[in-house]
Amino acid sequence: MAVPKRKMSRANTRARRSQWKATETPLVATRVDGQTVSIPRRLVKAAQRGLVSVEG
C-alpha cells in the first residue's frame, strides 16, 4: 500500500477531492411484461424473471 512521505496540505487535499464526479447509470430500454422500460443493464435479467418490480 502506498504511504505518503509528507503531509498533504488542506488546499491540495480539497483540490484533489473536488475533481471527483459521480457518473450517471446508463439505462437500457427493455421489454418487461409487454412494456418497454428503461432500467440499468445489471437489472435486466432480474426484471424479466419477475424478481424486481419495475414501473413503466
Give the number of domains in the chain.
1
Residue 38 counted as domain residue: yes
Reported confidence tier of residue 18, pLDDT bands at 50, 70, 90:
confident
Residue 56 has pLDDT above 70, yes or no: no
Residue 8 counted as domain residue: no
| For range 8-12, the mean pLDDT | 92
Q: Regarding beta strands 27-32 and 35-40, do their DSSP bridges make them parallel or antiparallel, or are they unpaired?
A: antiparallel
Residue 31 counted as domain residue: yes
Residue 10 counted as domain residue: no
Residue 2 counted as domain residue: no
Residue 32 counted as domain residue: yes
Residue 4 counted as domain residue: no
The residue range of the domain holding 32 is 25-55
